[in-house]
């Protein structure tokens, strides 16, 4: 078999596993998430320039020692600090459900992209500042586009 075919078969196998996982309630989570939202897929005007690489959910919790409430919160934005694995959790995009930027209100936090960047990038900046870079751009936590997104 050639390499491409092997890759395709592998991808199909993984897709089946993911589809089976989807039958369970939304209480489980992969160790690493490919964060491609519907908003991304539904984009009509031109293909997205960037594609998200991956988010190491498990590593963020275990190695970087983050509390669930640093990222997950309730409908009022109050941190879900007591969340446990197995509890029901909403996806960010169920509330941050605007998938297009509003030109008049560019920072609207209910826009999915702003919520994601607000959470991921802001914490990364703080982490890098703590690690010694005064501007928070350089350090172990990525803040530049290409480190999270690869060119599509
Ligand atoms: C650094 C941020 C961060 C931390 C810390 C974090 N999560 Fe998440 N979690 C996310 C993101 C982002 C998603 C993806 C949500 C989406 O797809 O919209 C997610 C998804 C999930 C999902 C899957 C939801 C679904 O329906 O697909 C579960 C369950 C979950 N997290 C539980 C937890 C628990 C329990 C903790 C604490 C032990 C935790 N998370 C800590 C950011 C985090
Ligand atoms: C149940 C609905 C809901 C879910 C699910 C949700 N959010 Fe939010 N989020 C909100 C609301 C409402 C606010 C605005 C709170 C306010 O005005 O203070 C908010 C605010 C925010 C903010 C701004 C916080 C600040 O301090 O300025 C960020 C960043 C954010 N959300 C990211 C996320 C991420 C990332 C996820 C998924 C891991 C997520 N949200 C899931 C409802 C939600
Ligand atoms: C509350 C803080 C916090 C939030 C929120 C957060 N991160 Fe991180 N992230 C970190 C820290 C700290 C590191 C670097 C840890 C180290 O290497 O010392 C990191 C590292 C990373 C890395 C490089 C290493 C790896 O594990 O792959 C990627 C990529 C990354 N984060 C993506 C994301 C994405 C995407 C989100 C939003 C969905 C996110 N992070 C949200 C704290 C955070
Ligand atoms: C720490 C990781 C991280 C960094 C750094 C980052 N992003 Fe993102 N970005 C995300 C996540 C997570 C999402 C939400 C996932 C999705 O929409 O697929 C997102 C979504 C987006 C989207 C929306 C995709 C869509 O079509 O809905 C665009 C556009 C984007 N980012 C551009 C950028 C640009 C430009 C930069 C640099 C200025 C940047 N990002 C830096 C993590 C990051």
Q: Tens digits of per-residue pLDDT, 5-60?
A: 555 555 554 444 444 444 444 468 999 998 876 655 565 665 566 677 789 999 99
Which ligand number lies closest to the CA of residue 40?
4
Round to whole Å and give the CA distance between 120 and 142: 9
The length of the chain is 152
Round to whole Å and give the CA distance between 81 and 5: 45
Atom number, ligand 1, closest to the C-alpha of residue 27: 29
97 pLDDT higher than 70: yes
Burial of 64-102, coded b for 16+ CB within 10 Å and e otherwise, reads eeeebeebbbeeeeeebeebeeeeebeebbebbebbeee
Q: What is the mean pLDDT of the chain?
A: 82
What is the Å distance from ligand 1's center to 72 Cα? 7
Q: Is 57 in the pocket of ligand 3 (CB under 6 A)?
A: no
């Amino acid at each position: 078999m050639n390499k491409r075919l092997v890759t395709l078969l592998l991808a199909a196998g993984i897709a089946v596993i993911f589809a089976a996982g989807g039958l369970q309630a939304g209480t489980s989570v992969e160790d690493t998430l490919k964060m491609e939202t519907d908003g991304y897929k539904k984009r009509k005007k031109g293909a997205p320039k960037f594609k998200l690489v991956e988010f190491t959910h498990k590593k963020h919790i275990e190695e970087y020692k983050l509390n669930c409430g640093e990222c997950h919160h309730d409908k009022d934005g109050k941190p879900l600090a007591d969340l446990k694995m197995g509890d029901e959790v909403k996806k960010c995009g169920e509330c941050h459900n605007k998938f297009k930027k509003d030109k008049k209100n560019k920072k609207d936090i209910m826009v999915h992209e702003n919520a994601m960047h607000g959470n991921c990038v802001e914490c990364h900046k703080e982490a890098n500042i703590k690690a010694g870079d005064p501007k928070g751009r350089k350090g172990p936590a990525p803040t530049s586009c290409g480190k999270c997104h690869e060119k599509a």
